[in-house]
Structure 1
Amino acid sequence: MFEVSQLNVAYSESHVIHDVSLVVGANDSVAVMGRNGMGKTTLLKSLIGLLPTRSGSIRLNGHELAGLPSYERVKQGLAFVPQGRMVFPLLTVEQNILTGAEHSGHRTVPDYLYHFFPVLQDMKYRKGGNLSGGQQQMLAIARALISDPKVLILDEPTEGLQPSIIKELAQTLNVLRAERGFAIVISEQVLSFALDLADRFLVIDRGRIVHDELRAGLDQEKVRSFLTV
């Protein structure tokens, strides 16, 4: 169980995240939707420890993570795929993946990662900077998954990707989630992708959660109204 309670985040004197709470069950997938500038990336960076929180609680299976550095949160079971992928351009695909293995004990890339992302095996000696956007996104996800996380956090993973790749990415993440047994927290603006992946939808507006609904009863038009300018 991943639990966030009354989380507040500020840049200097600017209060960005206001009393955000959410609960993600084991193997669940939660989408945080919203327009640009509403706080999605700030929220996710605060969960992984890249931004400090002013107050609130972040707990994974009963262990408090708030205040811990990012690497300690990774040890506890969080993994993060940042917006823009942020792969190491001069490292090979294989080297990129293994940079995420420090806390997992993996000395080589696990077979299941190459099974789900066969293009990475084909290109494992190619430099990360020479991959396409879609391939770099697969690489960033593989780098996060090698830590064997309990919760995979993805920030705007569809940014800059072709529609066919977006559809394939959702299918792959669903199968991985089922087979590897991790939960997903994802920030996203593309509703079709979120519908393919998420069990529950949260809408963030000006740093506050303003809508929370399960997929089964989702009012898609209401969610879309929060995504349009």
Structure 2
Amino acid sequence: MLEVSHLNVFHGESQAIRDVSFRVGNCESVAIMGRNGMGKTTLLKSLIGMLPSRSGSIRVESQELAGSPSHQRVLKGLAFVPQGRMIFSQLSVEENILVGLRHPQRTVPEYIYRFFPVLAEMKSRRGGNLSGGQQQMLAIARALVTDPKVLILDEPTEGIQPSIIKDIARVLNLLRVERQIAIVVSEQVLSFALDLADRFLVIDRGRIVHDEARAQLDQEKVKSFLTI
């Protein structure tokens, strides 16, 4: 589904991502974990094309995306939910979702409101008037209507209360089965990642230093990478 090979990304003269390679299978969910400043956001932004890669390959179903602008990567199957959500605060819930539609129809797909009923209840409300958890649901919904093959989420639990975090993990698990999408999520909250991910990658100083399936996961070892 998604294959990243020998990816290198620089900030000016400083190398932020160092020879990163990993693969995400069909309907698989992969958590990329690490402390702040270790390269999680940089890696995800380079996948969607918000940051250029110096070298390496990014493929979705054998289509090469490295070097392509972000909008072409979306057309080829990537969708991105940024850290901080970045919804349009002055637009209504429904208008925010419609912004993401890549097809001519101007109606919200049925499954969006089925998975996020609170958005249906608040579809006429301004995005800026929603709670943090509701805004995160809205950001996910906006990404989903692009019909992605791979959904990328950057720190989705940031600023959200624990009960909503559980709901978001549950919905994402249902969505990836029904919509046949893979998920790549950067995260620091291990409990959320355990609810969602099939596999765990740990990034440290721009390198993948640990890769383990959930069934064999050594939680204490992962926690040691997340603490200072």
Task: Using structure 1 for the length normalisation, give the TM-score.
Answer: 0.98
Query: For residues 71-129 of structure 1, what are the alpha-carbon distances to aligned partners after superposition, in whole Å with 9 as ceiling and x for unaligned?
Result: 0000000000000000001111000001111x244421011100110110111111111
List gaps (5 residues or longer) in structure 1: none
What is the aligned partner in structure 2 of residue 21 from structure 1?
Answer: 21
Q: Which ranges of 4 or more aligned residues in structure 1 deviate by more than 3 Å?
A: none
SS of structure 2 residue aligned to 1:148? coil
Alignment length (residue pairs):
228
Task: Using structure 2 for the length normalisation, give the TM-score.
Answer: 0.99
d(CA) in 2 for partners of 1:168 and 1:90?
26
SS of structure 2 residue aligned to 1:187? strand
What is the aligned partner in structure 2 of residue 116 from structure 1?
Answer: 115
* Deviation at residue 8 of structure 1 after TM alignment: 0.4
Q: Which amino acid in structure 2 is aligned with residue 43 of structure 1?
A: L
What is the aligned partner in structure 2 of residue 86 from structure 1?
Answer: 86
- Decide whether the 8 Å contact of 1:106 with 1:146 is kept in 2: no
SS of structure 2 residue aligned to 1:31? strand
d(CA) in 2 for partners of 1:105 and 1:215?
40
* Deviation at residue 189 of structure 1 after TM alignment: 0.2
Q: Which amino acid in structure 2 is aligned with residue 17 of structure 1?
A: I
Q: CA RMSD in A?
A: 0.6
Q: Percent identity?
A: 74
What is the aligned partner in structure 1 of residue 150 from structure 2?
Answer: 151
SS of structure 2 residue aligned to 1:171? helix
Q: Which amino acid in structure 1 is aligned with residue 44 of structure 2?
A: L
d(CA) in 2 for partners of 1:219 and 1:55?
32
List gaps (5 residues or longer) in structure 2: none
What is the aligned partner in structure 2 of residue 196 from structure 1?
Answer: 195
d(CA) in 1 for partners of 2:163 and 2:67?
40
Query: For residues 137-177 of structure 1, what are the alpha-carbon distances to aligned partners after superposition, in whole Å with 9 as ceiling and x for unaligned?
Result: 00000000001100000000000111111111100100011
d(CA) in 2 for partners of 1:52 and 1:182?
25
Query: For residues 7-60 of structure 1, what are the alpha-carbon distances to aligned partners after superposition, in whole Å with 9 as ceiling and x for unaligned?
Result: 000011011000000100010000000000000000000000000000000000
d(CA) in 1 for partners of 2:134 and 2:60?
30
Q: Which amino acid in structure 1 is aligned with residue 49 of structure 2?
A: G
